[in-house]
């Protein structure tokens, strides 16, 4: 499990877990580069079907929400490198 204050990709500081699901956890995080709060979804495995499911969620949300867009960034790391 990641400690809440460890930076992700040297940029995102996790603040609080908002939701735990079957394939991922969603956290409130602070983006130190853009200086704003964001939601970070950490997928628990690196299977192709998990990636496809995440991309599908983003595409569905973006097509149904014209005033709000998700930004998709991916980074691969082990829990010890987070």
Query: What CATH number is associated with residue 43?
Result: 3.30.200.20
Residue 32 belongs to domain spanning: 7-60
Decide if 69 is inside a domain: no
Decide if 48 is inside a domain: yes
Q: Give whichever of 4-8, 37-41, 58-62, 69-73 has the largest mean pLDDT.
A: 37-41
Decide if 2 is inside a domain: no
Decide if 75 is inside a domain: no
How many distinct structural domains can be found in the chain? 1
Decide if 19 is inside a domain: yes
pLDDT beyond 90 at 63: no
The phi-psi region of residue 44 (left if phi > 0; otherwise alpha if psi is between -120 and 50; otherwise beta) is alpha
pTM over 0.75: no
- Tell me if 41 sits within 8 A of 23, measured CB to CB: no
Residue range 32-59: mean pLDDT, rounded: 83
């Amino acid at each position: 499990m990641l400690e809440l204050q460890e930076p992700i990709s040297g940029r995102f500081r996790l603040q609080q877990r908002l939701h735990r699901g079957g394939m991922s956890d969603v956290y409130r995080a602070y983006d130190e580069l853009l200086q704003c709060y964001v939601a970070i979804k950490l997928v628990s495995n690196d299977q192709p079907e998990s990636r496809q499911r995440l991309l599908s969620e983003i595409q569905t949300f973006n097509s149904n929400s014209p005033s709000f867009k998700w930004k998709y960034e991916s980074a691969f790391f082990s829990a010890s490198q987070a």
